[in-house]
Structure 1
């Protein structure tokens, strides 16, 4: 589980107070950005997140780990995904990195050190998916 602490950004302190972004928010943004990429079948979570989803609790940060690092170094994001069979793995992984980077920069302006994409599986087409194509 990610630790909760304030992420120091330029101009987060103002006359109204400070702005804090929880790591869970970054996990959700990264997870949604990755799932939008063509060729991504699913994000790979832990056993606990899989069980929670079976009971109807959707976890958009599933498969995403955020390491806030120190103030000098940026935030590191590790994401585990399953891709569809037949896609170019390097191309899809690069698209995942670019989409996450753009989403994080647009929504939070948090400096990123790295976005590590871990391909943990390839999903073969099922009979239903083949018939729909």
Structure 2
């Protein structure tokens, strides 16, 4: 993970607050179909590791979007709160949740670039990974 900082984030209605011990300063873009369907466009997200505390967890709904990951949302206002890798308890939070800390981030990489629709492009120069490259780089070893 790149350089990190302590951060807090909350949903639109304030029912859920997330305290993050080590938020990455890199915001990454995911162009996979699930992320685009979930948020209406690419997911701009921050790796927040495993040390994330959720206050207001009784307001959090969780959807198992795959065998390996969950997506969390506020049941009251619908704000997307996290993408969590179940096996390692790693949280990835939408960059927009850190509204008061946007100047902390730079765009790091774009993943599932081979799934990006043709109607948009980012001007930033980033590392761009295809679906196969993402799974080769990040998938846990099988065994």
Give the greater-gyration-radius structure (CA). Answer: 1
Which structure: greater helix fraction?
1
TM-score by length of 2: 0.28
**Larger strand share, 1 or 2:** 2
TM-score, structure 1 length as denominator? Answer: 0.30
